[in-house]
Amino acid sequence: MPQNFKELDVRPLLRDGGEPFQAIMAAVQSLAPGEGLRLLSTFKPTPLLTLMSKRGFSSDAVELEGGEWEVNFSPLVVKTMAVAVSSGADDASDWPEPLWQLDLTTAEPPLPMEKVLSRLSLMEPGEVLFVLLAREPAFLATELEGLGHRWVGAPDGDGNVYRMLIRVGSAA
């Protein structure tokens, strides 16, 4: 999708010995959702690149003729992670708090499945287990449904860890 940019040329201000930081931050504050900022400067604003990254912008800096710079700051797209659910588990909001938690992010298959199934075998129907995994557990999800358990799961915001709530079914 084409990106819209608001342009701010701070070169005249810098040539007159001024400090453009306030003008840049005011321009950032005035951006519409999804809008980027095109900044024209007499130098590469390296500290600003870091600051804007922390504020949710990527940057593309290009040196122009005469040592001047054009930097395009684009808002990062926040990915919405879909929550996967087992049949009959459309909403886990009424489930009790998890009694157990397992962090299996460093365990290699098949150990995560073995540990989860082992813990579930010790739990009572209706109890909930919270699990952290290194990746989406396709085989585990199928096994859980076959055993009568319900689950909901989704990657964390960074997509580095898969989080899963499992509610013990009565058929366990």
Interval 105-161: pLDDT, tens: 999 989 999 999 999 999 999 999 999 999 988 799 889 999 999 999 988 877 789
Using 50, 70 and 90 to split pLDDT, how confident is the model at 14? very high
- CATH number, position 121: 3.30.110.40
Domain with 15, as residue range(s), is 5-75
Mean residue pLDDT across the chain: 89
Last residue of a domain, one of 75, 93, 110: 75
Query: Is 47 in the same domain as 105?
Result: no
Q: Checking phi first, is residue 167 left (phi over 0); if not, alpha (psi -120 to 50) or beta?
A: beta
- Rounded Cα–Cα distance for residues 129 and 120 (Å): 8
Q: Is residue 172 part of a domain?
A: no
Measured distance CA(160)–CA(26) in Å, rounded: 34
Q: Does residue 61 lie within any of the structural domains?
A: yes
Among candidate residues 32, 52, 75, the one where a domain is terminated: 75
